Amino acid sequence: MSVDLQCCMIELPEMNRYLHNIFSRHHKKRILNSNLKPAAVLIPLFYKKSELHILFIKRSNSVVYHKGQISFPGGQIQKTDANLQDTALRESWEEIGLSPQDAEIIGELDDTRTRTTRFLISPFIASIPYPYKFKINPQEISGIMEVPVTSLMDRSSYKRRRVIDEGESILTFTYDYNGEIIWGATARILKQLLELLKNQT
C-alpha cells in the first residue's frame, strides 16, 4: 500500500491527530470580494470499516441553486450565524440532522467561488461519529453518499468532461463514484482536500 493511502486506514483517534496535524500546517487562502455572497460548507469525514470516508449530499430538485448536484452540506450565511463556521454547522443540522456537538472541526480549506451563482464558499473539515442517525430534509436533500477516500484517490475517478451549468455546456474536471458525478466548486474543494492528504508522508 502506498504512503498516500495509508493515512486512510488507521484508527480513529490517531486519524484525528493526523488530520489536525495536516490542516494546522495549511494556511487558508481567503478571497476578499464584496460582490460575492458568503457561504460555507462542511466536509464530514468518518470511519467506516476501518477506512476514511467523506460524506456528500445530493441536492433535491426543489432547491433554488445547484439542483440535483452532488455537494457538501452547506449554504449561505444568515444573520443569526455568528460566523461562517456556524453557517456550515447550522446548514448541516438543517439538511442532514448532524448535531453541531457531533462535528469536530479539524481544519479549513481555501475559499472557493461558484462560477454562475456567485457564492464565496468557506469549506470547514469535520470529523464525525459513525454510524450516525442522519435525518434527511427532503425539501433540500434527495440523499447522502458515503465515499471512501481511496476511491477518489484512484486516478480512474478523475476525468475531464462536459457538463451543463445553468444551461451552458462547459468543459471541466470531475470525480466519478458509482455513476454519480462530482463537479464544480465541490470538485475543486475535494481536489484540494485529496492533494493535502496525498502530500503527507
pTM, entire model: 0.90
Domains held by the chain: number? 1
pLDDT (tens, 9 = 90+) of the chain, 201 residues, equals 233 445 555 566 777 788 888 888 899 999 999 899 999 999 999 988 888 899 999 998 776 666 778 999 999 999 999 999 999 999 999 999 999 999 999 999 999 999 888 999 999 999 999 999 999 999 999 999 999 999 999 989 999 888 876 677 878 999 999 999 999 999 999 999 999 988 764
Query: Distance (Å, rounded) from C-alpha 166 to C-alpha 190?
Result: 21
Query: Distance (Å, rounded) from C-alpha 178 to C-alpha 165?
Result: 21
Closest CA to 67 of 175, 187, 167: 167
Residue 177's SS3 state is strand
Domain that holds residue 82: 3-198
| Contact in structure between 104 and 121 (CB atoms under 8 Å) | no
Taking the CA atoms of 46, 51, 56 and 58 in sequence, report the sign of the dihedral they define. Answer: negative
CATH assignment of the domain containing 11: 3.90.79.10
